[in-house]
Structure 1
Amino acid sequence: MRDLKIVLAVLVLMGALFSGNAQRKVVKTYPKHGTLVTTVHKPKIVVYKNNNYYYANGIWYRPKGKKYVVCAAPIGIQIRKLPRGNKVVVINGRKLYKYKGIWYKKKGRGYIVVNV
């Protein structure tokens, strides 16, 4: 009887450990356009039509004083690498890439923002 209690206690403990690990999720939230942020983690600076844009983790920013404003990706701006998690979509025979509502197409060694 004592062995049965020990086995049951171990099973309950293991179940609690596994269920606790299964419930841990990382949820990324992306700021809405117009949101003002103080820092951007490792941004890439892209100059387009004499304006600086900052790009990090698939999000586009414009400078505003010492802060940054989340903005829409300018149509025609080009980047070297797509963000992780992009989806490949074929529309009318054209291979496009989509990430968080922004559409890209391959151009040379990079990707250009397009309007779909």
Structure 2
Amino acid sequence: MKQMNMILAILAFLGTIFTIQAQTRTVVKIYPKQGTVVKTVSNPRVIVHKKTSFYYADGVWYKARGKRYVVTAAPRGIRVKTLPRGSKVVYRNGRRLYQYRGIWYKRSGNHYVVVNV
């Protein structure tokens, strides 16, 4: 009986350790490189800029190619209502800009416009 109690105590202890480790895992999001072709885009916003439809999701810009999407550079001058999570405020030449993954935005009224820096 003592051995059985000892085995159960050890299993309970190991179960606690594995539970704690499972809760401290970090999820790393990998963003596709420019030119990557993907089959689907989750919850994209369609933004028309200079008669071209761009798809914007989670800070990544896409163009449609048939039934697939190609990761593209953010077009200069395109306007978005909200910045992606994780964007940072940066002051350059006295201007307040926002940067996210190499894409620069400036505030213009209620929108943010992609600019070159």
Report the TM-score, using the length of structure 2 for normalisation.
0.85
Residue in 2 that maps onto 1:29: 30
What amino acid maps onto 2:110 in structure 1?
Answer: R
What amino acid maps onto 1:56 in structure 2?
Answer: A
Q: Percent identity?
A: 50
Structure 2 residue corresponding to 1:20, chosen from 1, 19, 22: 22
Point out where structure 1 has 5 or more consecutive residues left out of the alignment.
none
For 2:110 and 2:33, the matched residues in 1 are separated by 29
Residue in 2 that maps onto 1:39: 40
What amino acid maps onto 2:66 in structure 1?
Answer: G
Point out where structure 2 has 5 or more consecutive residues left out of the alignment.
none
Equivalent positions of 1:74-89 (< 5 A) are: 74-89=75-90
Report the TM-score, using the length of structure 1 for normalisation.
0.85
- Say how many residue pairs are matched: 113
For 2:59 and 2:112, the matched residues in 1 are separated by 12
For 1:33 and 1:40, the matched residues in 2 are separated by 15
For 2:14 and 2:43, the matched residues in 1 are separated by 44
For 2:57 and 2:33, the matched residues in 1 are separated by 14
Residue in 1 that maps onto 2:104: 103
What secondary structure, in the 3-state scheme, does the structure 2 residue paired with 1:76 have? coil
What amino acid maps onto 2:54 in structure 1?
Answer: Y
Residue in 2 that maps onto 1:112: 113
